[in-house]
């Protein structure tokens, strides 16, 4: 019971912090990111891990994320917001950037089945 209250308190703090953070535009820093190394972990069995190379493209325009792959044309994913310096959220995805100068970062996608972690190489178009 105490652990559940602790987690609820942490979640509340995260939500409050997220809503109070600045809303910087990611598209002013990068317009295009390409995934590279990928890691997928099953949420039900953490020992089930898959590694592969991904080429999914993330395009940022006017605080929106558009996704595409070689087999799927570009589609609108979600609105993106900065929740703290270098960390952005859009739908089930969290984007974390090493620094804005390097153009490198990661995107983490969490749903009820699995957690996906992808490296990103980003640039201005």
Residue 66 lies in a domain: yes
Question: What pLDDT shows up at residue 102?
Answer: 75
Q: What is the pLDDT of residue 98?
A: 76
Residue for token digits 């390409």? 34
Residue 14 located in a structural domain: no
* Residues in the chain with pLDDT values less than 70: 1-28, 99-101, 125
* The pLDDT of residue 53: 95
pLDDT at 85: 83
Burial class (CB in 10 A: 0-12, 13-18, 19+), 13: exposed
Residue 3 maps to a domain: no
What pLDDT score does 124 carry? 81
52 domain residue, yes or no: yes
pLDDT value at residue 25: 63
pLDDT at position 91: 94
DSSP letters along 107-118, please? EEEE-SSEEEEE
Note the pTM of the prediction, 2 decimals: 0.74
Q: How many domains, in total, are found in the chain? A: 1
Q: Which domain holds residue 90?
A: 23-123
CA distances from 15 to 72, 94, 115 (A): 33, 14, 20
| Residue 31 structure tokens | 């317009």
**Residue 94 structure tokens:** 């969290």
Q: Please indicate, yes or no, if residue 10 is contained in any of the structural domains.
A: no
Q: 2 in a domain, yes or no? A: no
């Amino acid at each position: 019971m105490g652990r559940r209250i602790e987690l609820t308190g942490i979640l509340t703090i995260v939500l409050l912090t997220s809503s109070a953070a600045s809303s910087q535009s990611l598209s002013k820093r990068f317009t295009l990111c390409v995934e590279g190394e990928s890691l997928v972990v099953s949420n039900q069995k953490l020992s089930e891990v898959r590694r592969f190379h991904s080429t999914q493209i993330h395009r940022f325009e006017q605080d929106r994320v558009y996704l595409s792959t070689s087999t799927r044309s570009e589609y609108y994913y979600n609105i993106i917001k900065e929740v703290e310096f270098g960390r952005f959220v859009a739908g089930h995805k969290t984007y974390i950037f090493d620094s804005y100068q390097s153009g490198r970062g990661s995107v983490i996608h969490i749903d009820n089945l699995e957690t996906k972690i992808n490296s990103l190489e980003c640039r201005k178009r």
